[in-house]
Amino acid sequence: MQLNECIEFLRENDNYIIVTHRRPDGDTICSAGALCLALRAIGKTAYLLPNSEVTEKYMDYAAPFTMPDNFAYETIVSVDLASEGLFPYDFNEEVDLCIDHHPSNTGFAKHSIIWETLASCGELVFEIIKAMDITITPQIAEYIYVAIVTDTGCFGYANTKAETLRTAADVLDYGVNNGVLNKELFRASSRARLALEGEVFSTLDVYCGGKIVIATITLDMIERTGTTENDYDDLASLAGRLAGSRITATITEKSKNLCKVSVRSVKTVNANAVCARFGGGGHAMAAGCAIECGYEEAKKMLVEAMMEELG
């Protein structure tokens, strides 16, 4: 869809549920919340589909819009979802409109608006809201800001462009307290999280003279440090802090035969191509997948794929 077609669709339909992805981050939650606020501003009924994996960090952003049990929805919109494999585990319906920014989007929805050049889905939602001529409230602006800083690592990732910063500057003009939000989202950690980071850094696996770095988070490490899902945010960036790394993976053991993998890379190395080998996807420099095996076997397969990608 073009932007004007998306606006027409949103104005013509009603009784919305907005779907966020598994292991939801600030981009999917706050893009959905901002869109929900915008739809309500034009007289539509809109809620977020309940997502059991929302962590404490983003619960306050999702809670005001959570769908009640008896809501009879008519229109399904997904935000920041690249494939059906990222649907919440208890959801399997056809999506009417997909709003996304991932180049790996599989085109699963009836209609899609996908702006691949954007660093976050929140930027696209902001463009949609402005095109609908809706008043930008401080709450909408805060949601858009959180969406942007989540997917840019507080503007530290290579996907941050001039247009990203311009959009962030625009929403700050509406009264967003970026200093407070940046501290809450990026510079405040629980004691358990800090203990887990210590174990991760002390057990990094390095290959190819430091170009490949693998971080492993095992079930034993999680139990030993007392970490919970609330402490897992942005673990994928830890391995990339080693100087000289070009492509990194963070393997999180979910069970003895299932690993969640997050891959990060520099601009000249394709993280998405590595994850695509295992049925995953994402962006060129940030992608993810799940591998059904133990973490040692997953590590071997990932290193082999990374070496091939490095050439």
Domain range for 252: 191-310
Last residue of a domain, one of 153, 186, 219: 186
Q: How far apart are CA 281 and CA 68, in angstroms?
A: 32
Burial environment of residue 196 by CB neighbours within 10 A (0 to 12, 13 to 18, 19 or more): buried
Q: What is the pLDDT at residue 237?
A: 85
Residues 252 and 137 in one domain: no
Q: How far apart are CA 157 and CA 151, in angstroms?
A: 8
Q: How far apart are CA 155 and CA 140, in angstroms?
A: 20
Q: What is the pLDDT at residue 189?
A: 87
Q: What is the pLDDT at residue 280?
A: 87
Amino acid at residue number 27: D
Q: What is the pLDDT at residue 112?
A: 98
Q: What is the pLDDT at residue 27?
A: 97
Burial environment of residue 308 by CB neighbours within 10 A (0 to 12, 13 to 18, 19 or more): exposed
Report the predicted TM-score, pTM, of the whole model to 2 decimal places.
Answer: 0.84
Residues 168 and 247 in one domain: no
How does pLDDT run across 8-40, given as a tens digit for each residue?
Answer: 999 999 999 999 998 899 999 999 999 999 999
Residues 55 and 10 in one domain: yes
Residues 168 and 215 in one domain: no
Residues 18 and 85 in one domain: yes
> Which parts of the chain have pLDDT scores under 50?
none
Q: How many CB atoms lie within 10 A of CB 51?
A: 23
Q: What is the pLDDT at residue 248?
A: 96
Last residue of a domain, one of 186, 202, 227: 186
Residues 129 and 246 in one domain: no
Q: What is the pLDDT at residue 259?
A: 95
Q: How many domains does the chain fold into?
A: 2
195-198-199-201 Cα dihedral, nearest 10 degrees: 160
